[in-house]
Amino acid sequence: MPSFTNTRRVAHRAENMFKLVADVESYPQFLPMCEALTIRSRKERDSKTLLIADMTVGYKLIRETFTSQVLLKPDDNVIEVKYIDGPFRYLDNRWTFIPAEDGEACDVEFFIDYEFKSRTLGLLMGSMFDLAFRKFSEAFEKRADQIFKA
CATH number for the domain that contains residue 59: 3.30.530.20
Q: What is the distance, to the nearest Å, from the Cα of residue 9 to the centroid of all Cα atoms in its chain?
A: 17
Q: How many helices (H) and strands (E) does the chain have?
A: 2, 7
Phi–psi pair at 145, nearest 5 degrees: -60, -40
The pLDDT assigned to 87 comes to 87
The pLDDT assigned to 1 comes to 60
- Domain that includes residue 129, residue range: 3-148
Query: Model-level pTM?
Result: 0.89
The pLDDT assigned to 126 comes to 64
**Spatial contact of 147 and 12, defined as CB atoms under 8 Å apart:** no
pLDDT tens for each residue of the chain, 150 residues long: 678 888 999 999 999 999 999 999 999 999 988 999 999 999 999 999 999 999 998 877 778 899 999 999 999 999 999 999 998 899 999 999 999 998 899 999 999 898 888 887 777 666 666 666 767 778 898 999 999 875
CA distances from residue 118 to 5, 15, 96, 123, 133 in whole angstroms, order as listed: 24, 38, 30, 9, 19
Side by side, the strands of the sheet bearing 3-10 are 3-10, 106-116, 88-99, 78-85, 62-73, 48-59, 34-45
The pLDDT assigned to 116 comes to 85
Instruction: Give burial (CB, 10 Å; 0-12/13-18/19+) of 43.
Output: exposed
Give me the number of domains the chain comprises. 1
